[in-house]
Amino acid sequence: MIKIKIGFLGPHGTFSEEALDNWINKSGLGPDSYEKIAFPTIIDVINAVGKQIDMAIVPIENSLEGSVNMTIDCLIHEAEVMIAGEAVLPIVQHLFAKKSIPFEEIREVYSHPQALFQCRKFLMKNLPHAVLKEVSSTAEGANIVAKSPSYGIAAIGNQFLSKLYNLTVVAESIQDSQNNMTRFYLLSTEDKPSTGHDKTTLVFSTANRPGSLFKCLKVFAQQQLNLTKIESRPSKRILGEYIFFIEVEGHRLDEPLKTALVELKQLTGFCKVLGSYPV
């Protein structure tokens, strides 16, 4: 049997892997039908789609910190992949160390930048003296703590990491908000057929003239299409030039979005549909 190869941000134990496991369980994939492959960075995961792997899961936004710009920029400027789905994962962050120690004895805290940000109030109140160390993933932070001879360092991540790396939970549920959610994109070489309950992601640029963006957005309003996400990212060509990243309800092959996209392309210098997928 040929296994589906699915990539995620590693090492093992990251929130990305947890989101992937949840998606696998919901999709009904059998244990012998897929292979999970960890990659060191989000960019590595995305660029491997269609080459080393068949699918990938990458974070796109967090309810506390906002968009994952690395994912957006790679989808815009580098990768030729399509968004084929999305998954949402509740995020619960824990502080763990080699053994149970008082907060005042913790000198350094390792984790992914987003995890550190999500717990900043807790860290400022309880560990104002600790040096915050950014690493590529929450799992990497746990790995560093597990391998270190020092007992004065800690990491932030999900509870599974404490079991995976044999660490002790020092403080539970330390994120600033209980409504801490991360949304992930499922990437493939093709997007999905229409289901009647779909969303489409696209990017476009427009002339730097008064009313240019308004005219583009008016296309969606006239077709009664709901935009669920919009933001700008630097074009990486000229200072002050931007590319707009949009999510809109509907499938790119279904009306009225199909007509709206035709009209949008007539108004823009660059327009790229990143995929339509069920929600």
What is the bridge-based pairing of β-strands 34-39 and 4-9? parallel
DSSP states along 86-109: EEEEE---EEEESS---GGG--EE
Shared-domain flag, residues 9 and 81: yes
More confident residue, 15 or 31: 15
Please state the rounded mean pLDDT for residues 223-229.
97
Shared-domain flag, residues 15 and 59: yes
Shared-domain flag, residues 184 and 75: yes
Q: pLDDT exceeding 90 applies to what percent of the chain?
A: 84
The total of structural domains in the chain comes to 3
Instruction: Kindly report each contact of residues 42-47 with a partner whose C-beta sits within 8 Å and lies 24 or more positions away, as own/partner.
Output: 42/9, 42/68, 42/70, 42/71, 42/74, 43/70, 43/74, 43/78, 45/7, 45/8, 45/9, 46/71, 46/74, 46/75, 46/78, 46/79, 46/81, 46/187, 47/74, 47/78, 47/79
Shared-domain flag, residues 79 and 112: no
pTM of the prediction? 0.88
Q: Does residue 193 form part of some domain?
A: no
Answer yes or no: are the C-beta atoms of 51 and 187 closer than 8 Å.
no
Shared-domain flag, residues 45 and 9: yes
Shared-domain flag, residues 78 and 146: no
Domain harbouring 239, CATH code: 3.30.70.260
Residue 254 banded pLDDT, cuts 50, 70, 90: very high
Q: What is the pLDDT of residues 178-207, one digit of tens each?
A: 888 999 999 999 999 999 999 999 999 998
Neighbours of 205 (CB within 10 A): 22
Q: Does residue 228 form part of some domain?
A: yes
Please state the rounded mean pLDDT for residues 37-66.
95
Range of the domain at 167: 94-171
Residue 1 banded pLDDT, cuts 50, 70, 90: low
Q: What is the pLDDT of residues 129-139, one digit of tens each?
A: 999 999 988 99
Q: Is the pLDDT of residue 59 over 80?
A: yes
Shared-domain flag, residues 52 and 184: yes
- CA atoms of 8 and 16, how far apart (whole Å): 6
